[in-house]
């Protein structure tokens, strides 16, 4: 139990998707103009990461890894499909996003209209595929750990995008050098936020 | 885009060459279109992985641009994203296997970022914006141009970070040992992830200072 909680905290603060690995930067930079929209996108990312990482974990454990197809019968014992992981993970993500979109539309129309166009965009957010690939690389022990990693990474991404959106709303009133306006200053602020987040590196879990 | 008189047009006409040169500055994928940032920042602590990454993106982008341009009339618009992802993922698997076979050390350093070429927004963005509505040859040139624009920025960032962060370039020592004897110290901050962001910020600053039309309002 404690291990699961540790993974959650670690993936929010220490291995933060944006500041430590730069994942999901494209939508992070494009959608962070106002706090409201960035909250919507952030929630959608938490949601999708929390679903796709465990599903991809099961896929990896029972189909892709070498020798794990044995449940189909002894003749499958030495099948190694790990080279297919990219294409299967992205297919799972794309279909999950589609599924989540339909479920949300059916049961909570209010949330659906507030997330709007962001849900389909998530399929090509690198943070989602990155979550699955890191899950595969770090070899989590069971599905609970994988789920807490997925949710934690999502929450970390959420914190990052809401933070930068709040700063960008304020910085509109400052006198930034013309050539640095917009994109340039956003990069530099993100860098400074990254340095701030590095102070969590000292935490031992 | 006039595609009717394509048959008479020479392969390297001015218009076609423009597809390449424009991407190097005026519509550079990283500093202007803001595409493909994730991988650009993560692999640039050293020059070698940055170069390998640029070449991989070049291959994947040019190849999938051509494939999508060939298929463009047969793809139903509703499922185009899935089709594009499958084409990209196939190309990336090929590149990944080649890297593992020939430059295993670099492929270990790049770790998940080879896989993340699939969701690299440059590729999706160019397929969507260009290859879906153009013939294969211009699409090929567009792919090369964008990948070169991406590569130039990547190499620039990696050059600065490796030179100041470790005092080497491609693992050859550049800053002479004598400097260290006099008390010169490598700037360890340059190796850390946040400095990549700040380096890009500064590159954007310099670029926009010289190309005034790129300056944003607000």
CA-wise closest residue to A11 among A160, A143, A114, A122:
A160
Picking from B85, B96, B196, the nearest residue to A90 by CB comes out as B85
A13/A194 Cα distance (integer angstroms): 11
Interface-testing mutation among B201, B203, B214, with chain A (most A C-beta atoms within 10 A): B201
CA distance B150 to chain A (A): 14
Picking from A22, A134, A177, the nearest residue to B193 by CB comes out as A22
Q: Inspect the interface and report whether the beta carbons of B204 and A128 lie closer than 8 Å.
A: no
Q: Inspect the interface and report whether the beta carbons of A191 and B37 lie closer than 8 Å.
A: no
Instruction: Determine the average pLDDT of the residues in A187-196.
Output: 87
Q: Inspect the interface and report whether the beta carbons of B119 and A129 lie closer than 8 Å.
A: yes
User: If DSSP codes are grouped into helix, strand and coil, which group holds residue B3?
Assistant: coil
Q: Taking 60 as the threshold, does the pLDDT of residue A125 lie above it?
A: yes
A61/A139 Cα distance (integer angstroms): 10
Which position has the higher pLDDT, B95 or A102? B95
CA-wise closest residue to A180 among B122, B35, B205, B50:
B205
CA distance B115 to chain A (A): 6
Q: Which stretches of B87-186 are assigned E, i.e. beta strand?
A: 168-169, 172-173
Q: How many helices (DSSP H) and strands (DSSP E) are in chain B?
A: 10, 2
Q: Taking 70 as the threshold, does the pLDDT of residue A16 lie above it?
A: yes
Least confident piece of the model among A36-50, A122-136, A155-169, B108-122: B108-122
Task: Extract the tokens encoding A127.
Answer: 């943070």
What pLDDT is recorded for position A117? 61
What pLDDT is recorded for position A104? 76
What pLDDT is recorded for position B194? 81
What pLDDT is recorded for position B218? 54
Q: Where are the domains positioned within chain A?
A: 2-202
Phi/psi for A4 (5° steps) reads -65, -45
CA-wise closest residue to A127 among A95, A102, A151, A103:
A151
What pLDDT is recorded for position A68? 67
Is residue A3 very low, low, confident or very high in pLDDT (cuts 50, 70, 90)?
confident
Picking from A84, A126, A186, the nearest residue to B116 by CB comes out as A126
Q: What is the CA A29 to chain-centroid distance, rounded? A: 15
Q: What is the mean pLDDT of each run of 10 residues along chain B (218 residues)?
A: 47 70 73 75 80 87 88 78 82 86 81 75 79 82 86 86 79 74 75 82 84 68
What pLDDT is recorded for position B216? 67
A200/B75 Cα distance (integer angstroms): 48
Q: Inspect the interface and report whether the beta carbons of A187 and B197 lie closer than 8 Å.
A: yes
Instruction: Determine the average pLDDT of the residues in A107-135.
Output: 75
CB-hemisphere CA count at 13 Å for A122? 33
Q: Which residues in chain A have their CB less than 8 angstroms from residue B196's CB?
A: 22, 191
Residue of B nearest to A198 (CA): B194
**Plot region of A116 (φ>0 → left; ψ -120 to 50 → alpha; else → beta):** left
CA distances B187 to A187, B124, B195, Å, are 20, 36, 11
Tell the burial category of B157 from Cβ atoms under 10 Å away from its Cβ (0-12, 13-18, 19+): buried
What pLDDT is recorded for position A155? 92
CA distance B107 to chain A (A): 14
| Cα diameter, chain B | 67
What pLDDT is recorded for position B29? 75
Contacts of A116 (CB under 8 A, 6+ apart): A40
B92/B145 Cα distance (integer angstroms): 19
What pLDDT is recorded for position A116? 61
Q: How many interchain CB pairs under 8 A, A with B? A: 141
Write out pLDDT tens, residues A43-90: 888 888 888 888 888 888 887 777 666 677 766 667 777 777 778 888
Task: Extract the tokens encoding A15.
Answer: 């291995």
């Amino acid at each position: 139990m404690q291990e699961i909680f540790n993974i959650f905290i670690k993936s929010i603060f220490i291995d933060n998707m944006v500041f430590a690995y730069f994942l999901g930067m494209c939508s992070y930079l494009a959608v962070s103009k106002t706090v409201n929209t960035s909250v919507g996108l952030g929630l959608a990312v938490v949601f999708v990461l929390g679903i796709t990482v465990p599903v991809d974990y099961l896929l990896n454990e029972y189909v892709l890894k070498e020798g794990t197809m044995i449940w189909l019968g002894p003749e499958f014992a030495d099948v190694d499909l790990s080279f297919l992981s990219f294409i299967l993970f992205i297919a799972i993500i794309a279909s999950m996003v589609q599924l989540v979109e339909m479920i949300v539309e059916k049961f909570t129309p209010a949330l659906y209209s507030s997330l709007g166009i962001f849900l389909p965009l998530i399929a090509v957010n690198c943070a989602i595929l990155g979550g699955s690939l890191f899950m595969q690389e770090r070899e989590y022990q069971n599905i609970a750990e994988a789920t807490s990693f997925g949710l934690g990474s999502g929450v970390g991404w959420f914190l990052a995008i809401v933070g930068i959106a709040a700063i960008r709303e304020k910085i509109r009133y400052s006198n930034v050098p013309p050539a640095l306006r917009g994109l340039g200053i956003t990069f530099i602020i993100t860098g400074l936020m990254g340095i701030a987040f590095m102070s969590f590196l000292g935490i031992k879990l | 885009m006039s595609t009717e008189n394509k048959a008479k047009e020479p392969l390297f006409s001015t218009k076609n060459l423009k597809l390449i040169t424009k991407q190097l500055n005026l519509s550079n994928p990283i500093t202007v279109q803001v595409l493909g940032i994730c991988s650009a920042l993560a692999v640039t602590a050293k020059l070698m992985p940055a170069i390998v990454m640029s070449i991989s993106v070049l291959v994947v982008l040019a190849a999938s641009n051509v494939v999508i341009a060939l298929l463009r009339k047969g793809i139903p618009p509703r499922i185009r994203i899935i089709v594009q992802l499958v084409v990209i993922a196939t190309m990336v698997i090929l590149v990944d296997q080649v890297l593992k076979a020939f430059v295993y050390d670099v492929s270990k350093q790049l770790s998940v970022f080879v896989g993340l070429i699939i969701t690299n927004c440059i590729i999706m963005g160019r397929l969507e914006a260009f290859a879906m509505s153009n013939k294969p040859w211009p699409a090929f040139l567009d792919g090369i141009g964008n990948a070169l624009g991406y590569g130039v920025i990547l190499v620039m960032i990696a050059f600065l970070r490796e030179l100041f962060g470790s005092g080497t370039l491609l693992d050859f020592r550049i800053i002479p040992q004598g400097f260290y004897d006099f008390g010169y110290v490598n700037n360890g901050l340059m190796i850390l992830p946040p400095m990549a962001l700040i380096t890009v910020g500064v590159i954007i600053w310099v670029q926009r200072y010289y190309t005034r039309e790129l300056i944003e309002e607000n």
